[in-house]
Structure 1
Amino acid sequence: MDTQKLTIRLPESDVQFIKRFAEEHKTTVTEMIRRYLKQLQAQHIDEADAALQSITGLLPQNITEADTRRLYADYMMDKHR
């Protein structure tokens, strides 16, 4: 895995806390941040999956593009009456 250096600015108390926390848990600040980012990525994927699941199945499987265009045109006509 290629890595890059990242410089961040935090209040001194936060820096002291995270260094102490990492040491107490026998890990590094880098590893803690990496794990947190992985959690955020997984959460983001889960949210995207939930959004997709919420609309899955709304349209019949056998609907054609022509049907879709007709339904949309009907919707727009009703909307602007």
Structure 2
Amino acid sequence: MKEEASKLIMIFWCLFAFITSGFEHSVANMTLLSIGLLIPHSGAVTLGGLFHNLIFVSIGNMIGGIVFVALTYFNIAKQRK
């Protein structure tokens, strides 16, 4: 992919696939819940609900990142020394 337009299209579709997959991720939830707040709705999505969701999802993402990524790299680096 050498053209800028094709790179942007691929980035869009990768982000679209991730956001619509339904995984609980803080960035994806920021997008979906913000869109839910902006469209006319019956109160199913509230600002308090958005922050309640983002707090717990962000904590879970941080724990997952620390346990599965940071500690894995730490152990690999420790074994190489």
User: TM-score if structure 1 supplies the norm length?
Assistant: 0.38
Query: Greater RCO between the two (CA within 8 Å, min separation 6)?
Result: 2
Q: Which has the larger radius of gyration?
A: 1
User: TM-score if structure 2 supplies the norm length?
Assistant: 0.38
Higher percent of residues as helix? 2
